[in-house]
Structure 1
């Protein structure tokens, strides 16, 4: 089973990494692929370039064999649409390999506004992770899709190539990329919210308002 966990990772932090490990264990897979978004279609431009975010992500997962980086969205021009990524992966994996994408409840609340959203269950399973923020409207299309296709456990995802929805409520670290960016801009340290090599590189590059070559 191939599992992708996408996001802007602006910047990558320990909350992202801990969730990826939780997903690996709960879904019973050897690897989780972290897929950084090139140009997010549903939010403001990231605070770092796609190349910078990719470098930080690669530094964050170095030495962790269960987490790998997939840069395919950075290889495409224009906005990064999930359906395009899943279609590309499906062509590589074939028709029988289970493919899983991970989405938070906050993003899933607007699932029916994604481009080609109705095609996504024909390409992959969807794991919906409970996160702070808005929940899907019980009367809306995302909630209806979840009710119709929900399964009770990860075992079902291994038994079919696509089409199922699984809800997970893992323990989450209370860390946000937005909060980290604000902390850095205000001159406060984000140390221990992210891997030390990532913070050192942010300082070196002067990202998010960090003082270049400042004290680590």
Structure 2
């Protein structure tokens, strides 16, 4: 039986309960052995992160340390330059070997834009792309090509986001 690993990349600025619940739901539904949280050093499709990568790694570690199926990887934080998912997937495929199935976990907003990602065809060939719902993004906004080669999960739509958390902290709201 092959190892089944979910790869959940993101800025995680900050990581929040929505990320953790979606990861656990995905793990359970797909029978994943573990989920790797991969904070991006420099996300190529977003503006820069507010917290430095080392702090985001630490936050992710603290948030995931009670779940034995969750791990945090520093593969993108250690890499200079933009954090391209295709490079991360190559790293894990090399590290884990051919007997491992990789599940690339992303929100519908990322899946909608996947065709703009570096070597997106390679991502679709070398992993199972798992699309989780996002408020304000309709499943039909994902291109036919990406949708055909992806697995869509019916997930709860949490009205929580890292940007909203940052806004509330900045405004002194708790």
TM-score by length of 2: 0.91
Question: What is the 5 A alignment of 1:46-195?
Answer: 46-135=49-138, 142-147=143-148, 149=149, 165-189=150-174
Confirm or deny: 8 A CA contact 1:38 1:50 kept in the other structure.
yes
Given the superposition, is the C-alpha separation of residues 170 and 45 from structure 1 closer, same or farther in structure 2, using an over 3 Å criterion?
same
Which structure is higher in strand share? 2
The answer on 1:38 being equivalent to 2:23 is no
- Measured after TM superposition, the shift of residue 30 of structure 1 is 3.0
- Partner Cα distance (1:136, 1:108) in 2: 9
1:123-177: CA deviation from partner (whole Å, max 9, x where unpaired)? 1111011112334666x7x322322x3xxxxxxxxxxxxxxx2100112432111
- Partner Cα distance (1:12, 1:121) in 2: 26
Equivalent in the alignment of 1:2: 5
**Unaligned ranges ≥5, structure 1:** 150-164, 190-216
Larger Rg: 1
Given the superposition, is the C-alpha separation of residues 114 and 136 from structure 1 closer, same or farther in structure 2, using an over 3 Å criterion?
farther
- Root-mean-square deviation over aligned CA pairs: 1.6
How many residues align? The count is 171
- Partner Cα distance (2:54, 2:63) in 1: 14
- Measured after TM superposition, the shift of residue 95 of structure 1 is 2.4
**Unaligned ranges ≥5, structure 2:** none
